[in-house]
Amino acid sequence: MEYTDEIIEVLNSEFNGILRANLYEIGLSEAELERLRIRKRELRNALKNCGIGDTYSKEYVKGVIRNIFLDKLNMDEEKLCNIIHFSDRAKLTVKDKFDILLFIYKKDYDREAFVNMVEEYSLLRPVACEDGFKYEINEEDIEDIFFEKYRRLSFDEMLEITIQRVYERYKGLGVIDELRDMKIDGISGGVSGGAGEFNSVWIFVKGRTVHLSFLDFGTERELERICMNIYRYNNAGYLSMSKGYIVNEMYDHSRVVVARPPFSESFVFFVRKFDSIVHKTLEQLLTDEDAVKVMNVIQWIVRGCQVCAITGTQGSGKTTLLMAMIKYIPPVYTLRIQELAFELHLREIYHDRNIVTFQETEFISGQEGLDLQKKTDGVVNILGEVASAPVASWLIQMSMVASLFTMFTHHAKTTDNLIKYLRNCLLTDGGFTNEVIAKEQVVDTVRFDIHMERDIHGHRYVQRITEIVPTHDSRQLYRLNNIVEYREGKYVMTGQFSRESSEEILSHLEEEDRQRFIETYHI
């Protein structure tokens, strides 16, 4: 048995002793009894929540472990070195070195420690492989950084690192425990490698999917343990052979998906984080040559109260762009937002505006939330994602009669695909039976498609802004007008606003803005 396993057995005994103690047999005063009751309740709650994204509970449990280390196990430097070989650098594993590095960076950067480390050493770069290239941080990278950054650690620092190591094996999420809490876009595990290989930790950061090949779950049992714990928030059910996958959120509203055999070839998990999404202005987001052209078009679309889709694949920057576009909605307008999980957090950015966000829960469907919005005096409606037939159907209805205008995101690759998807949703949802009429409703409602792309190196940009122009011709209900496009690293004006859109936009502008719009586009 490893020394760490022996310690975990001691921790089990100590924690169970605290939780099962009969307080009335100890002969304490009522005040002391109440303090111990509170401590038991806090510990029980912390143990329940510590592995599912609740960092406060995690630190609470680690604090109890610290007390057990010092008071019960009399931990000294020699005992700590039996767990991690701090005294002999030659015996440190790559995981030991990574934990030490992350600890050192956390002193300065807290939850941005990992991103700062990899950016300082330019590790988010393509690495050649047999079939081309991929993004990978390997053992050699960690060795090089460790050689430069390592310094002698104090006893308290060694104690903190060791407590984290024991915690992640005891109640945490194994080798991904600290990474999951970093400000990254996502993390997944069990998604690569052949039989008996478990170095399958991948992260999504800065628009890149990166293989952390130096990290290893060690055994299938450990990967299974992590998968069976990471989704537990809010009693999500049980991942079984008959129920082979679960989609849930974590305590911090990260989205988590887990799957297991026989549904998937191995135990796998996927965590999509939203706390890494940082509010940026359009000027900060769109940095390619002549970006002012695309920024101006976006500004007039929003100021002119046009129903607008922001499309693109996952990770292309749709949500970040949507957050930036809110700035151009006149502050007098109230905003109502519907999301699958709280992602935008618009009140934290625009705290002086009238904003309410709703999200789908186990007991309240997205459709019910959307219906409720009609009764909340909303002027502008924002849908975090249109991902189902009922929501798409309601989007069309809402945009036509219930709000001044609507903005939403979708995964469509082309504007034609977006129109077809929305048309099919109207037919599927039962509101329409005639394909042509359903398509007319979509074309008459959704006016612009701002399409985002992310290239193979993670660079995000607006590929095009397309206007959907109704033709009222039964043979061809609409034409597509690309106003601006991204070509060879710069933005190019390829069209003008149609007469219909120009008139609609002008009708919503103040006099000063009307003159600017007319002068800019020679209307």
Q: What are 114-172's pLDDT values in tens digits?
A: 999 999 999 988 888 777 888 999 999 999 999 999 999 999 999 999 999 999 999 99
| Domain-ending residue, one of 241, 272, 303 | 272
201: which strand partners?
A: 189
431 pLDDT more than 80: no
Q: Tell me: pLDDT of 113 over 70.
A: yes
Q: How many domains does the chain have?
A: 2
What pLDDT is recorded for position 397? 75
Residue 101, domain extent: 3-272
Three-state SS for 105-129 is HHHHHHHHHHHHHHHHCCCCCEEEE
Pair 499, 428 in one domain: yes
Contact in structure between 450 and 308 (CB atoms under 8 Å): yes
**180 and 129 in a common domain:** yes
Token pair, residue 136, equals 């990978």
pLDDT band, very low/low/confident/very high, at 473 (cuts 50, 70, 90): confident
**In terms of pLDDT, which residue wins out, 94 or 254?**
94
- Tell me the one-letter amino acid at 161: I
**69 phi and psi, to 5 degrees?**
-55, -45
32 compared with 211, residue with greater pLDDT: 211
Q: Are 219 and 149 in contact (CB under 8 A)?
A: no
> Are residue 210 and residue 332 in the same domain, yes or no?
no
Based on the fold, state whether residues 144 and 266 are members of the same structural domain: yes
Choose the final residue of a domain: 223, 241, 272: 272
| Ranges 101-110, 196-205, 438-447, most confident | 101-110
CATH code of the domain containing 342: 3.40.50.300
**Same structural domain for residues 242 and 293?**
no
The verdict on 245 and 326 lying in the same domain is no
Q: Helices 291-303 and 499-507 meet at what angle, rounded to 10?
A: 60
| Contacts of residue 303, Cβ cutoff 8 Å, sequence gap at least 6 | 328, 330, 505, 508, 509, 513
Q: Is the pLDDT of residue 35 over 90?
A: no
Residue 1: predicted pLDDT: 44
Walk across the sheet containing 355-359 and list its strands: 355-359, 335-339, 380-383, 405-410, 308-311, 448-454, 460-473, 476-487, 490-493
Instruction: Classify residue 277: in a domain, yes or no.
Output: no
Determine how many CB atoms are found less than 10 A away from the CB of residue 270: 19
Q: What is the pLDDT of residues 312-351, one digit of tens each?
A: 998 888 988 999 999 999 888 999 988 776 777 788 888 8
The per-residue pLDDT for range 87-106, each reduced to its tens digit, is 999 999 999 999 999 999 99
Of 4-8, 336-340, 466-470, minimum mean pLDDT range: 336-340
Q: Residue 416: inside a domain, yes or no? A: yes
Question: 73 and 175 in one domain?
Answer: yes
CA atoms within 13 A on the CB side of 232: 17
- Residues 258 and 290 reside in one and the same domain: no
pLDDT at 34 over 90: no
> pLDDT tens digits, residue range 271-321?
988 766 667 889 988 999 999 999 999 999 999 999 999 999 988 889 889
pLDDT at position 429 is: 79
Distance CA 343, CA 254 (A): 9
311 — phi, psi (to 5°)? Answer: -110, 165
According to the model, what pLDDT value does residue 33 have?
77
In a domain, 132, yes or no: yes
Q: Higher model confidence: residue 250 or residue 377?
A: 250
Could you tell me if 268 and 412 lie in one domain?
no
Q: Which of 272, 307, 338 is the last residue of a domain?
A: 272
Distances (CA, A) of 191 to 131, 300, 383, 413, 503: 18, 43, 31, 25, 52
Considering the domain architecture, whether residues 286 and 243 belong to the same structural domain is answered as no
Strand partners, 470: 478
What is 222-284 written as a DSSP string?
HHHHHHHHHT-TT------SSS-EEEEE-TTS-EEEEE-TTTSSS-EEEEE-STT-----HHH
Q: CB neighbours of 118 closer than 8 A, spacing ≥ 6? A: 124, 137, 205
Q: What is the C-alpha separation between 264 and 258, in angstroms, rounded? A: 10
456 near 450, Cβ under 8 Å? no
- List the CATH number of the domain containing 184: 3.30.450.90
Same domain, 35 and 69: yes
Distance of CA 509 to the CA centre of its chain: 35
* H/E segment holding residue 91: none
Specify whether 226 is located in the same domain as 288: no
Residue 193: its H or E element: none
Q: Cα dihedral angle (163, 106, 215, 244), rounded to 10 degrees?
A: 80
* Structure token digits, residue 499: 């007469």
- For residues 382 and 337, is the Cβ–Cβ distance under 8 A? yes
Does the residue 235 lie in any domain? Answer: yes
C-alpha–C-alpha distance, residues 87 and 64, integer Å? 26
Q: Which residue has the tokens 């996502």?
A: 186
449: Cβ contacts below 8 Å, ≥ 6 apart? 308, 309, 311, 412, 415, 418, 464, 465, 466, 468
457: pLDDT confidence band, cut at 50, 70 and 90?
confident
The better pLDDT of the pair 51, 26 is held by 51
- Minimum mean pLDDT among 75-84, 229-238, 363-372, 429-438: which range? 363-372
509 pLDDT above the threshold of 90 = yes
Residue type, 144: D
More confident call, 344 vs 54: 54
8 Å CB contact between 267 and 353 = no
Q: DSSP 3-state helix, strand, coil percentages of the chain (rounded to 5)?
A: 45, 20, 35
